[in-house]
């Protein structure tokens, strides 16, 4: 007879358990240009505890954007050059120089294609490019609104979002650059986001450079997130949260492990 009878209970319980919620662990980089400025330029931000910890790195001037690949490799830019940032030490290593004049935003697609927003001049258009982070080659896609020059990120579903000072949150076609405001004209008085970052469970965070917000992807509405010692002048955000397995997943693994034993019958 079978010597284990509880595996059906485990399978049933695992199907009823809700996914485990995660809290965001964000990396933030601050615009830094003054060698005499002794403030930290790279920060770890724990949204759950509302705390920020500096990583004591001041080596790269003018960090103005940041993006993270699926393997957690982090790329930052200071106008024309790309760097690889170590999330633990805050140290940056030069990757390559690009032909772009003023990189204002970076985002990796789900396929790890790097997208960038280039600003031609203060009153000039914003431009959407793809950039090879090995060779530095940049491919022009299209112009974007003049006042949409700072923030860019892909959702976990692969939708590219940006931010317009006039219309707030935008969806952007990564193929031809066609953009659509999520809530046209309905974001008057909203913060002008300097960076956007999705968590892996789909929560969108943004910063206007001095405060942290969540952004509703359906309405473009923003909600202030209280933080202690959130750095000023933030120009890049990235989600460092490693999703924890849900209890359902754990139970399924346990069930799979004991299932062979459950199905084995002793022979006498």
Q: Mind listing the pLDDT tens digit for each residue in 86-125?
A: 888 888 899 999 999 999 999 999 999 999 999 987 777 7
Instruction: Determine the Cα–Cα distance for residues 235 and 2; give it in Å rounded to an integer.
Output: 61
Average pLDDT for 136-152: 87
The distance from CA 125 to its chain's CA centroid, rounded to whole angstroms, is: 24
**8 Å CB contact between 67 and 160:** no
Instruction: Determine the Cα–Cα distance for residues 97 and 77; give it in Å rounded to an integer.
Output: 10
Residue 55, C-beta contacts closer than 8 angstroms, at least 6 positions apart = 40, 42, 43, 44, 88, 89, 90
What DSSP element (H or E) covers 7?
helix 7-16
Per-residue DSSP letter, 91? -
For the entire predicted model, the pTM comes to 0.80
**8 Å CB contact between 196 and 206:** yes
Instruction: Determine the Cα–Cα distance for residues 16 and 203; give it in Å rounded to an integer.
Output: 24
pLDDT tens, position by position, 209-259 = 999 999 999 999 999 999 888 888 899 999 987 655 444 444 454 455 554
Residue 30, C-beta contacts closer than 8 angstroms, at least 6 positions apart = 39, 40, 41, 42, 43, 63, 231, 232, 233, 234, 235
Pull the structure tokens for residue 171. 């969806």
pLDDT tens, position by position, 50-81 = 888 888 666 677 788 999 999 999 999 988 99
**8 Å CB contact between 246 and 16:** no
Among residues 142, 237, 144, the alpha carbon closest in space to that of 198 is found at 237
Pull the structure tokens for residue 188. 């008057």
């Amino acid at each position: 007879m079978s010597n284990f009878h509880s595996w059906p209970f485990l399978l049933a319980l695992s199907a009823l358990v809700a996914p485990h919620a995660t809290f965001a662990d964000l990396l933030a980089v601050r615009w830094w240009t003054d060698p005499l400025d002794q403030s930290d330029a790279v920060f770890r931000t724990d949204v759950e505890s509302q705390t920020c910890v500096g990583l004591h790195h001041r080596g790269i001037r003018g960090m103005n954007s940041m993006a993270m690949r699926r393997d957690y490799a982090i790329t930052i830019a200071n106008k024309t050059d790309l760097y690889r940032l170590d999330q633990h030490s805050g140290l940056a290593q030069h990757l390559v120089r690009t032909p772009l004049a003023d990189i204002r935003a970076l985002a990796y697609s789900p396929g790890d294609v790097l997208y960038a927003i280039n600003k031609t001049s203060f009153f000039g258009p914003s431009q959407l490019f793809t950039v090879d982070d090995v060779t530095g080659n940049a491919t022009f896609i299209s112009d974007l609104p003049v006042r949409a020059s700072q923030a860019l990120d892909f959702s976990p579903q692969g939708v590219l979002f940006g931010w317009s000072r006039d219309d707030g949150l935008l969806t952007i076609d990564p193929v031809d650059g066609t953009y659509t405001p999520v809530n046209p004209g309905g974001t008057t008085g909203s913060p002008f986001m300097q960076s956007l970052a999705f968590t892996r469970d789909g929560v969108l965070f943004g910063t206007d450079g001095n405060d942290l917000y969540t952004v509703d992807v359906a309405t473009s509405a923003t909600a202030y997130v209280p933080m202690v010692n959130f750095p000023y002048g933030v120009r890049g955000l990235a989600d460092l949260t490693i999703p924890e397995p849900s209890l359902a997943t754990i139970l399924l693994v346990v069930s799979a492990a004991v299932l062979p034993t459950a199905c084995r019958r002793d022979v006498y």
